[in-house]
A = this chain, B = another copy of it.
Amino acid sequence: MSLNVAVVGAGAVGRSVVELAGEYGHTVTAVADSSSAAIDPAGLDPEAVLDRKDREGAVGTAAPEDALAAEYDVLVEATPTTLGDAEPGFSHARAALESDRHAVLANKGPVAERYGDLMALERESEGSVLFEATVGGAIPVLSTIADFGADHITAARGVLNGTANFILSRMAAEGLGYEHVLSEAQDLGVAEADPAFDVEGTDAALKFVILANVLSQGDDEYRLDDADVEGIKDIPGSALDLAAEDGRTVRLIGEATPERVRVGPRLVPQHGALAMTGTRNIVQLETEHAGQLNVSGRGAGGPETATAVLSDVSRLE
């Protein structure tokens, strides 16, 4: 079934959703960036909208909030993640659910910081909320948990920040120091000019907070403040050398259970599943009856994250 999709946020993920929606059989009826919106109930021309954004810096001439009132079945929330009240992402999701339409989130804020509020809105709505794209980009972590039943999964562990993983794997492979590898990562576009969100563990922690919320199934609610978080800035190259002598290496590992969220540097076997190299992500699910299940792939990127968004959209049919 073809659904009408409104996309709020025109960064890498939002743009890719607009570009790929047609391939998934859906129609984009509204796109908003921070200053404007393009709206057409009959379906926008994705190329024209994105060209205009490139040329003029705005997707259209309508006001951004008009997109929320447009005709659509599913609102895709792809504005940048914000902490605390998770605004404006939370209000965008609320607008969709309060009008009995679906919300699909790529924005981690509302799911990590206001999970209870979001679930309460969903309970009152005819619409549903899905958020596969918030955890591990293209990797189907949440749908795997849903398929298995959260009841039957005791913990989720793994690497969910590609920037920190790139830095640690380069430091180990090349024997280089943190500052050197960070600036290399910045040159390559793997790390942002302000890398704090990634290297201090915040981004990974938000994803493991979301996993803990999903695994606890409403028994407990977690926020970033509840997570025990340590970043990678203070790891000396010598620690990696020492680990290597012992057949191990260091990775920024997160863990979520129904009772706890932790993220920090951990020693892992050098050739084990958790020692991913480069920017790839991995999640290990501990299951009750079926041992450990690993899922890995590209944890970030516009088209990659857009596939998770569009899989969610297709699930709403």
Contacts and interface: CB of A to CB of B under 8 A. Distances in A.
A148 B293 CA distance: 18
A306 interface: yes
A291 B296 contact: no
A273 B289 contact: no
A144 interface: yes
Contacts of A143: 143-144, 147
A175 to B, nearest CB: 18
Interface in A84-120: none
A297 interface: yes
Given A271-B271, A273-B296, A311 B140 contact: no
A138 B151 CA distance: 16
Nearest to A16: B289
Contacts of A290: 137-138, 297-298, 301, 303-304, 307-308
Nearest to A302: B289
A293 to B, nearest CB: 4
Given A148-B307, A149-B314, A315-B147, A294 B294 contact: yes
A3 interface: no
Contact of A24 (B23, B149, B296, B307): B149
A307 to B, nearest CB: 4
A46 to B, nearest CB: 14
A70 interface: no
B152 A307 contact: yes
Contacts of A293: 138-140, 295-297
Given A290-B304, A294-B294, A311 B147 contact: yes
B315 A289 contact: no
A297 B290 CA distance: 8
A140 B149 contact: no
11 contacts: A16-B289, A24-B149, A138-B290, A138-B293, A143-B143, A289-B306, A289-B307, A290-B298, A290-B304, A293-B297, A295-B295
Interface of A: 16, 20, 23-24, 137-140, 143-144, 147-149, 151-152, 271, 273, 287, 289-298, 301, 303-304, 306-308, 311, 314-315
Given A140-B144, A144-B144, A289-B303, 13 more contacts: A138-B287, A140-B148, A144-B295, A147-B311, A149-B311, A152-B307, A273-B296, A287-B307, A290-B301, A290-B304, A290-B307, A294-B294, A294-B296
